[in-house]
Structure 1
Amino acid sequence: MREMGQRARAAARILAATPTAKKAAALHAAAVAIRRAVPQILEANAADTAAGRSNGLSAAMLDRLALDPKRIEGIAAGLDTVAGLPDPVGETIAEWTRPNGLHIARVRVPIGVVGIIFESRPNVTADAGALCLMAGNAAILRPGSEAARSAAAIHAALTEGILAEGLPADCVQLAPTTDRAFVGALLRAEGLVDLVVPRGGKGLVARVQQEARVPVLAHLDGICHVYVDRGADLAMASDIAFNAKMRRTGICGAMETLLLDRAIAAACGPLLARLCEAGCEVRVTEDLLGLDPRLVPARPEDWDTEYLDAILSVATVDGVEGAIAHIAAHGSNHTDSIVTRDAATAERFLDAVDSAIVLWNASTQFADGGEFGFGAEIGISTGRLHARGPVALEGLTTYKYKVRGSGQVRPG
């Protein structure tokens, strides 16, 4: 870890001074290499997936792990997209001149070396590597054992593109081991690693937050809500709620709790039936049990559970204020949505719900850097410092002050 950190630090110094065009060219070359390496990536992924099934990985984890030609093309396209984004490095955020003539500018600069620890999502190899590189940071990637072969195949293509443009391979390094001890070493790498980003389950994130001696950017839970207001178009609400839960149940932006305004709850029977018919287990408050025989009673712990599966908890609330109160009590500050035609009610929800992402008439599954136009994301942050929501290029920079004077000295 120390050797990798020292090499990463040297590469970060080079990247910090690398022109935008050269960084972009390296990512375009990496995208070409990934498209050329589809057979090798699929072969590696097939081995990972087979091992995952043998080891009892859940359906949600297997879905995160699985690659196909369409998903690999998405990875390559993501590299091209990141390459075309505005480079934040060197951007002047603000500038002003003091009465004494000092000119002060706040300017974006790279963070330095970023460590990314991830489970089961091999696409993170390319997404995180590309975002770090474009923002002028060196990256150290540590995939979980379940995705190790796939990550190595993607990393090989990424390295090919980086080298093709004359940048050091150490710009994006892949851990040579999946030993848990490497994670501990990464978390203790003060002076070598400037930021750690965990992408994985609650156990991984909790361990990182507890053990890290370097700053951490992460979210712990994705307990996302959709609230259907009395002013909602119920057909729209059905489509949004169904997509929010069932499009991909294993991602952090999947809806885990559906909130129904008590005034229109009885009219939501078809929505709940649609979810049941799709194979979702729907756990509801007692007042909703009569809407469909397939509904089951919710338990108190359901409101605080991230299922990452085809399971949903449903509660009735007293209007938008009831929804805001429920989310404040049980949410995880990740992503929450309101469905309504009433603009005033929507604005109240958008203002009052203290989550990183708050939506109006849209699925929570849009909680993704690519969908925000960021090309990709290194993760979702639910914290309140530095970066929040999908973290992409700007979130991977910090800033410094450039102060230009003409001989000023501070009076005694």
Structure 2
Amino acid sequence: MTHRIVVLGAGYAGLAATVVLAARSRRRADVSVTLVNATDRFTERLRLHQVAAGEQLADLRLPELLAGTGVALEYGWVTGLDPAARTVRLDDERELGYDTLVYALGGVADTTGVPGADEHAYALGGRHEAELLAHRLGHGGSVAVCGSGLTGIEAAAELAEQHPGTTVTLLGRTEPGEALGARARGYLQGALRRLGVGVRTGVEIVKVLPDAVALAGGETVPADVVLWTSGVRGAPLAAVAGLAVDAAGRIVTDTALRSISHPDVYAIGDAAAIEQGYGMLHGSCQSGMPTGVHAARSILATLTGATPPRFRFGYYHTTISLGRGDAVVQFTRPDGAPRRLSLTGRAAVRYKETVSAAPWPTYRRMIRLPGTGSIWPRGGRYTR
């Protein structure tokens, strides 16, 4: 009997799980690995703000990466999941059976809490959405970026730099870079000013209109284009299938990253609610790839009768691009609190490009190393 492992989603976490499973099971005839993705292209989600600004990214293709690994590739949108029958349904009505499922479908922009956000705002949920925004920005006009978190900061800076004649306003409850140390926060806010980004903090967005953003208190901020970056939630697929999810629709996991309601389903990346000693893990490439590695190791350990290790993750840095020639890197404690050390300017750009912006070479190394032990430690605290 062949144990069928199916991975849903080829994002940072899903692809990390796939390449580790492929590397460590390539000599096992009793294990098969199938990767399901909407297309054959790998989307660098960390760079979608660049796509939205009209820039061209590298064309990274899954068949090229996975050639010779034995991984079966299936293309299509996942439309249904039946945990009782252990089947996955795709948009062309195909059904795939599994013995172990890795759920790595990521998250979607949370536009549910503000009227008009879903109808009138763009989001950076994928390459196609980012390209639609780029096309719209080619016609000019003012832009309101809703959400002053990391995605909102990077998007506002990129749009202002690439479209210097466009008025860009960043709207949010908190000041940009609030979680950074004083030096890095000051540099970031100065960079936004140099780029001409208008910043409004302490505001509550109550409605998105076709040509404006309405704030609590009756004020409106005119905008020809609205970009929504305020929050991410899990896609409804998991909840509809009956898996235990949290308030944000993410699959609740145990310490091995298994669903607490369906232990033959592993959840990783943005799709998972993963509790750590310091709180809930937040979605990022920094944490997503280690969850994929750990899930793969947990699955293979279980197949041999071993007890999978507990997942522990500590943050190492926060990296923020401020256009193509500027950035901020804040080094952090494992719980994400800022350390004294930070990088700014070109040094930060070089660091960010090296460690976090392009994981493709890392996937290649993981495939070549059967144990993948030199990438992340066994059973200890993961950092990236």
What is the TM-score normalised by the length of structure 1? 0.28
| Structure with the bigger percentage of strand | 2
> For the pair shown, which has the larger CA radius of gyration, 1 or 2?
1
Q: Whose helix proportion is higher, 1 or 2?
A: 1
**TM-score, length basis structure 2:** 0.30
